[in-house]
Amino acid sequence: MKIKETIIEGMYQIKIDQKNRLATRNKVPGTNVYGERLVKINDEEYRLWDPFRSKYAAAFLSGMKFLPQLKKKNILYLGVSTGTTPSHFSDILDNGYIYGVEFSPKIMRKFYRLAEQRPNLIPILADVRRPEEYSSYVFDVDLLYQDVSQPEQATIFGRNAQEYLKPGGDGVIAIKSQSIDVSLEPEEIFSKQMSILEDKFDLKVIEHSSIDAFEKKHAVIVIRKE
């Protein structure tokens, strides 16, 4: 097996059976999170990062060039679910924290158990549509990440960016077109969501891409707050 670091610091490509697989160095050796394979290389353990389970990994493999670095960031993650992608962010993070917001108490219990193993994960049970609900827990962040299946995805992102994202901070939003309007073509929905981010919330769209190879009718958008 051969390993090399990607342009995202802390994300690696491991060549296994003639295929390049994404991975992160495991902060909790011997433990996986969602059934992912663990690989030992030079006395270090790595967790393979499944792009069919993580839209950030899917975006990277879809050729996006301006995905933000993660290593030295404080991150607000909206729609943290059980922690698949946040666990890889946790592996990468260096001294920062991930504030993980989730609305479902049942799902949050699973994320809370993950956070017990990973001190840089901070679980917050709240509604992402009401960012004021967690103002007592979240400080200004360098990166806002969102993966929620709601009709007003761009508006949710924009309101949280206004509240918590530092000027000059980056954002990544995964858009699920089917959660917004099943009667429109996905590209039309993605365009409208980008217009909301730029025109209503004054966020600059840096890059966007379909991730259809991994998630049908999804796109990932990278923004910056100027």
**Tens of pLDDT, residues 192-226:** 999 999 999 999 999 999 999 999 999 999 999 99
Same domain membership, residue 158 and residue 64? yes
Cα 78 to Cα 171: distance, rounded to the nearest angstrom: 11
Same domain membership, residue 158 and residue 114? yes
Is the Cβ–Cβ distance between 211 and 55 less than 8 Å?
yes
Same domain membership, residue 219 and residue 150? yes
- Give per-residue pLDDT as tens, 92-115: 999 999 999 999 999 999 999 999
Kindly report the CATH number assigned to the domain that includes residue 31.
3.30.200.20
Q: Does the pTM exceed 0.85?
A: yes
